[in-house]
Amino acid sequence: MYSWSMVSTALAVVGMFCTSAVLADTAPWTLERALTRGHAVAPETRALEYQVEARRAAREQAGRWPNPVLDAQASELLGNEDGRGGYALTELGLSQPLPLWGQVRHGRDAAEARLAEAQALAGAGRLGLEAGIGAAFHEWQQAEADYRLARQRLAEAGRLERIARLRHERGDLSEREQLRIQLFHSEAIRQLEAAEGERSEARASLAAWLELQPNELGTAPPFADPPMEAVQLAATRDELDGHPALRAALERERAAQSEIARVRAEGRPDLVVRLFQERTVIENSREGSLGIGVQLELPLWDRNQGRVRENAAEHRRLQAESAALRRDLATQVTVSAEHLAHLLQELARHRRETLVPARRVRELTYRGYETGEVTLLELLEAYNTDFDAIRHEQLLLAESWEEWRKLRLSSGRSLLENTR
């Protein structure tokens, strides 16, 4: 039998594991955690991996020599000559095409470039996936912040209604003022209902990216300022060369150049070497003999010049697309860095010159309204000013994070680095 001490110890161990699991499941969501989860469950990640696997198999296949060809001939010739009759094997041959002009090597180089392109495209695909998850996460944060603000507004409207009721009982509140407070309360209810709808949509959107139920998300973390280091990014040539989309474009160029060389080599004469054995009848005896033959294509009508020009034009087209992509990425980095710096400056100024004074004016006006020194319209204006200032701060934060995402992704950097 087990002692109570052993049972207690076992239960304690199980309890520790269960508690750890619960804490792990209820850990607060951060952008880094959402991105990690999104990468793990997204079918796009598996599709990118399969694309790389397919290109790797194509590279293994490329560069192989063509298989030799075995041929055999049988006829009645030997039987008729030696009088034995019937069919007999008269010739056995083995032919091997010889790719002497580099077709195999150039094909292997093109396959290597396509594999490198697929690997770079996988990196670009991961950045695109992060763009969607990051946008959904920040929209969820903003929706949760709007919901909390709407609840605060409704709570304040309820408090004003209670004060108005007391003043109405004392007879120092007009009907117009009472109706005005009711309208303020009704507007607060409407804003809360709208915020609840946007919150539900944002939760459902993020949950879909993470393959979770919306109620598994918990509460969104509050908005923080984007990392300041992002503003220091510069659109230099070396930085942009590391962008996976640009790397993929450069690898496409390299593959196209190898294709030009391969097609040009295919336009040269093919050489086929054939080893064979013949059987003949000599003095009524069947004898065998060995021989070697060479087949050489005569490029009189087709030297593949049309395909060479086609692939050369394709290579030039890819070069132009790479230049356009580099220009667009450099422009996006520059614009996003400047816009983000401007937004952060505006955010700091808004907090210093609007948000803090609006909160102080609201507190002072509320005290004055309680004592009857301030009119209702002045109080409602102070409340609306304060709530509008908070709302504008949230909008600036949302715009700042959006520009931060654009800046990181356009420079080829993952959102997983330096996130909060």
DSSP-assigned states of every residue in 94-127: EEEEE-TTSHHHHHHHHHHHHHHHHHHHHHHHHH
* CA distances in angstroms from 232 to 240, 244, 329, 342, 373, listed in the order given: 15, 21, 16, 13, 51
- Specify the higher pLDDT residue, 241 or 326: 326
Q: Which of 11-15, 76-80, 300-304, 307-311 has the highest mean pLDDT?
A: 307-311
Other beta carbons less than 10 A from residue 28's beta carbon:
9
What lies within 8 Å, CB to CB, of 155 at 6+ separation is none
Q: Is residue 182 one of the residues assigned to a domain?
A: yes
Q: Is residue 33 one of the residues assigned to a domain?
A: no
* Mean pLDDT of the 68-80 span: 84
Q: Is residue 16 one of the residues assigned to a domain?
A: no
* Mean pLDDT of the 245-270 span: 92
- DSSP, res 351: I
Q: Is residue 8 one of the residues assigned to a domain?
A: no
Residue owning tokens 């003999």: 289
pLDDT of residue 84: 76
Q: Cα(86)–Cα(78) distance, rounded to whole angstroms?
A: 8
* Mean pLDDT of the 5-17 span: 41
What lies within 8 Å, CB to CB, of 116 at 6+ separation is 247, 251, 254
What lies within 8 Å, CB to CB, of 220 at 6+ separation is 29, 140, 141, 143, 144, 145
Q: Is residue 71 one of the residues assigned to a domain?
A: yes
Give the closest residue to 65 by CA, choosing from 94, 93, 102: 102
pLDDT of residue 87: 81
Burial class (CB within 10 angstroms; exposed 0-12, middle 13-18, buried 19+) of 298: exposed
Q: Considering the chain, what is the average pLDDT of its residues?
A: 85
Q: What is the pTM of this model?
A: 0.81
Other beta carbons less than 10 A from residue 37's beta carbon:
16
Does position 168 have pLDDT exceeding 90, yes or no? no
pLDDT of residue 238: 56
pLDDT of residue 22: 37
Q: Is residue 224 one of the residues assigned to a domain?
A: yes
Does position 76 have pLDDT exceeding 60, yes or no? yes
Point out the least confidently predicted range of 137-146, 217-226, 336-345. Answer: 217-226
Q: Cα(116)–Cα(122) distance, rounded to whole angstroms?
A: 10
pLDDT of residue 178: 80
Does position 26 have pLDDT exceeding 90, yes or no? no
Q: Say how many domains are in the chain.
A: 1
Q: Cα(223)–Cα(26) distance, rounded to whole angstroms?
A: 20
Q: Is residue 308 one of the residues assigned to a domain?
A: no
- Specify the higher pLDDT residue, 14 or 188: 188
Q: Is residue 307 one of the residues assigned to a domain?
A: no
Q: Cα(367)–Cα(382) distance, rounded to whole angstroms?
A: 12
Does position 360 have pLDDT exceeding 70, yes or no? yes
Q: Quick: pLDDT tens for 277-327.
A: 888 877 677 777 888 999 888 888 878 889 899 999 999 999 999 999 999
Does position 366 have pLDDT exceeding 60, yes or no? yes
Point out the least confidently predicted range of 195-209, 268-282, 393-407. Answer: 268-282
Q: Cα(369)–Cα(367) distance, rounded to whole angstroms?
A: 5
Which CATH number belongs to the domain containing residue 341 in this structure? 1.20.1600.10
Q: Quick: pLDDT tens for 371-389.
A: 778 888 888 899 999 999 9
Structural domain range at position 284 = 49-298+316-410
pLDDT of residue 229: 61
